[in-house]
Structure formats: C-alpha cells, structure tokens
A and B are shown apart, each in its own frame.
Chain A
Amino acid sequence: MEQRNSLFRFSGLNLPKSQKLRSIGVYLSGILFAVGFWSMVDAAIYSKTVNASIVHVTFVDWIPFICSTLGMIIVNSIEKSHLLNDNNNNSSFLGGGSNSTTWQARVILFFGFSLLAGGLAGSFMVFIIKFLLKHYTFPTLGMGVSNIICNGCIMLSCITLWLSQNIEDEYSYSLAL
C-alpha cells in the first residue's frame, strides 16, 4: 500500500498536495488555453487586415486547433479512477464488470491523446508545407509560428490540468484512509 501511494520512486519527488495549488493549476491551464486560442485568432485577424502577402489563414489552419481542443476535452473528462482500479478489482467479486469500464476508459483516453498529439503534429505540418517550403519571410511566417504556439499552449494546458487533478486524487486518497 505504501508503494502505490506515491507517484514516483523517490520519496522526495512527490507532487505537493494542497487544495490551493490545485486551484492555481486549474486557473493556469485556463490561462494557457486562452493564450493558445488568442494566438490563433490573432493570426486570423492579422491575415485579414495588415497582411500584405497572398497567403491567408484558411480553414486548414484551424484543423490542428480543433483536433487539440477535442483531444483536451476528451482527456480531461475521463473519470481517472477508472484507469487505475483494475489491479484492485481483478481478483475481487466485481472482476469482469469493472474491467470493461477500465478498457473503455483506456481506449477513449488513447483517442484523446492521439488527437492532442495529432493537433501538435498537424500544426508543424501546416507550418512546414504551407509556409516554410515556399520560402516566405517573417511577417508571413508569423502566422504559421502562431499556429504552433497555439497547439503547444493547448497541450501544455492539458498537461497542467491533468497534473493538478492528480494532485487532488492523491490528496483525497490520503485523507480517506
């Protein structure tokens, strides 16, 4: 029991457990998400107004953002207690019933992480194919860079939200026992 309680092998590396830190994490993830979203909106408005080149932000540039956002919603709406409870319940009387829930949760979580990674990879792909291979210079290149910033920030936001929820899980667990 003592080993499963800690996340890392070294005891000094445990995540700090407090309610306040968790709130800060959730706010921080919202802030990071907004930074990503607004960098994308900024690129779109920029391409409509002061953009002197012939390249414009079209729907193709928004596809990585949509993928990342969907992935973030999926990953963070999974109930995380379903992911870990198969070790406890495999040999108990609940056996098969909870196993299928765990399996479903893992498949959906896998889709979520694939969407997140696909969003980030897609932003790099749009940047390389649409901007970098045609040798545009920097004011035009900035629209592709902001696309990468957008997807990177959304991924960081997702990581922050996930970590802060894990803080609370351990906290309530140690309180319950």
Chain B
Amino acid sequence: MNPLNKIIFLSAFLASGFLLILLSCALFNNWKPLWVIGIFLVAPLPNIIAQSVENHRDDFLTFSNDHGNAPSALKEFCQHATGFLIVSGIALPLTFYHSHLIELGATLMSIIGGLIVYSAIIVFIWFFSVEEEENDDFNF
C-alpha cells in the first residue's frame, strides 16, 4: 500500500471521528462534548515529546547510554500521562451524562468519535515510523 492511499484512508477515518463528535454536539444543541476533541488531540502529545527528547539527547561525550534498557523518568511520566488522558477522554462524557448535562446518544457518539480520532493519530504515527525503526513496537 503506497503512502498516498494510507494518508487518504486515515484522513477519512479522522474526519469521521470529528464528524461523530460534532454531531453529538450539534444534534442536541449542547456543545459540552466538544472538549473530548481537545483531550484526544492532546493525548498523543506526551509520547511524541518524550520520543523526540530521547532521540535528540546528545550521546556523544556524555555516557548516557549506559543505562541501557531502563527508560528515563521523563518517558515514564509521559506514558503515565498518556494513560491518564485516554481515560479522561472517555470519562468526561460519562461524567456529563451522569450529571444529566448531555444525553445518552451524545455520550456514546462523543466517546466513539474520540476513540476514532485517537486511533487515527496513533495509526498515522505508527505507519510512518515503522520504516525508520522497526524494533519500537509498544509506543502508543
């Protein structure tokens, strides 16, 4: 599959996620679930930042390679923050539903839409980083 098809399919996937969240807001004329987009857009950021910091760390004269397989505290904190943000994106509509601020349909649509947006971003990163390094299997 060439990269152009990948990009087209992924953008359609991403757009359907955005569509679901926007529908969940617009159908009920209640724009509170729009925060889900923000949370799920922020959710991949900690791992991206940690990855780029790890890659650009200067290993030339500092002997920082000696800790081998032990990941740094920053990477660990970013993984922790990723788990926190994903559950936040799911828990925010549930909280709104529990407090009768949004309807059940809006809850389900915004959760599914948010998960679609997040998985589209993750699959995008995974598609285009798998050619550079193939050992990094568990970085979502």
Contact = CB atoms under 8 A, between A and B. Distances in A.
Interface residues of B, number: 28
The secondary-structure label for the interface of chain A is helix
Interface stretch (A2-10, A42-50, A111-119, A124-132): A42-50
Contact of B84 (A23, A33, A50): A33
Contacts of A35: 87, 91
B53 to A, nearest CB: 17
A52 B137 CA distance: 50
The secondary-structure label for the interface of chain B is helix
A22 B71 CA distance: 10
A175 B98 CA distance: 49
Contacts of A33: 80, 83-84
Contacts of A48: 99
Contacts of A42: 91, 94-95, 98-99
A45 B95 contact: yes
B92 A38 contact: yes
A161 B80 contact: yes
Contacts, number: 82
Given A23-B79, A45-B95, A172-B68, A30 B101 contact: no
Nearest to B101: A49
B106 to A, nearest CB: 16
Contacts of B56: none
Contact of A50 (B73, B88, B100): B100
A128 to B, nearest CB: 24
A62 interface: no
B100 A172 contact: no
A20 interface: yes
A19 interface: yes
A30 B79 contact: yes
Contacts of B85: 34
A61 B101 CA distance: 22
Tell me which of A20, A45, A161 has the highest count of chain B C-beta atoms within 10 A of its own C-beta: A45
B54 interface: no
A172 B69 contact: yes
Interface of B: 67-71, 73, 76, 79-88, 91-92, 94-96, 98-101, 137-138
26 contacts: A19-B69, A20-B137, A23-B79, A27-B79, A27-B82, A30-B79, A30-B80, A30-B81, A31-B84, A33-B83, A34-B87, A35-B87, A35-B91, A38-B92, A38-B95, A42-B91, A45-B95, A45-B96, A46-B98, A46-B99, A48-B99, A77-B73, A161-B80, A168-B70, A175-B69, A176-B68
